[in-house]
Amino acid sequence: MNSIKLEFVIQNENQILDVKEKLIQNLDFFQFEQDKKNLIEIAFEEMCINGIIHGNKNNKNKNLFIQIEISHQEFKAFIQDEGDGFSPSVVPETLDFDLLIDLIEKNETEIFTHGRGIYLTRQYMDQVVYNEKGNSVLIVKKK
């Protein structure tokens, strides 16, 4: 088998666990190293949670569409919510301490309580691409 393609439609965070179980089984089948599996699992879960919580606003009538492709060369996931989107460029780098100090002084730290998942995904994946609207993301990790 050269690759496998999986598709899911979920509405809430609890359903992410079922998808992750199938993801891990297939990463094992394609013999991804444990450290890369861990990074993929974290980034994938973060992007799904962001889509459900921030994109779909936890609205159980809205779907999160997930397409996964795994091969002997790489993992790819395309995740799309039904929300209004956002601009990834406005999400601060979590380790920007000068910005954090400035936000603390202005008592505007809420922006820093979000964005860690995006930061981690950018660090862990080889490629992270959002669509123009900001309601879908493609994440890629080479084997």
Residue-wise pLDDT tens digits, 14-65: 999 999 999 999 999 999 999 999 999 999 999 999 999 999 999 999 999 9
Structural domains of the chain sorted by starting position, each given as residue range(s) with its CATH number in brackets: 3-142 (3.30.565.10)
Are the CB atoms for 87 and 134 separated by under 8 Å?
yes
Give the list of residues 6+ apart from residue 65 with CB closer than 8 angstroms, or none.
Answer: 7, 8, 9, 78, 79, 80, 81
Token pair of 21 as six digits: 């179980």
Q: pTM for the whole thing?
A: 0.88
